[in-house]
Amino acid sequence: MKWDDNEHTADHEFTYNKERRAFCPVRYGCSIEIEDIVKYHINGKAYVSKDGKGISRHLFYAVADSIPYPVVFDLAKAKHIPEVDGIMRIISAYQKPLLPARNKLQSINFARLVHQKCPPKTK
């Protein structure tokens, strides 16, 4: 995350692409759970929320330390990979206290979403 002198200590400091950054133990602890969050939601629901630019994004809704933890993802057709219909790309995942409660978000069955975004290839 971006460095903030008022928020971070020197033991969490590192440089990435010549930019001063801060290691966040909370964010790291959440990020190592992403695989389990995805596996959990595969047989369940995905949700739709708008990003900062007003673009609709799909997400899995998790909670970390009582704070909403959306795992925002993109699904795309796998055009150049034989025997693979689609690819999931994680766009972002971090605690977002102002995210509306999951019952306030539009939901879609994840299997249906995959079928819409990545229909099976025809032989």
Domain match, 56 and 90 both: yes
- Please indicate, yes or no, if residue 123 is contained in any of the structural domains: no
Q: What pLDDT does 14 receive?
A: 84
The half-sphere exposure of 112 on its side-chain side, counting CA atoms within 13 A, is 7
Tell me whether residue 122 is in a domain: no
Q: Is 90 exceeded by the pLDDT of residue 39? A: yes
- Phi, psi torsion values for 84, nearest 5 degrees: -125, 125
Strand partners, 56: 50
Contact 83, 77 (CB under 8 A): no
Residues 56 and 84 in one domain: yes
Please give the mean pLDDT across all residues of the chain. Answer: 88
**What residue numbers bound the domain in which 99 lies?**
33-117
In a domain, 13, yes or no: yes
66-122 pLDDT per residue, tens: 999 999 999 999 888 888 889 999 999 999 999 999 999 999 999 999 999 998 877
Please say if the pLDDT value at position 123 is more than 70.
Answer: no
Residue 67 lies in a domain: yes
Per-residue model confidence (pLDDT) at position 34: 94
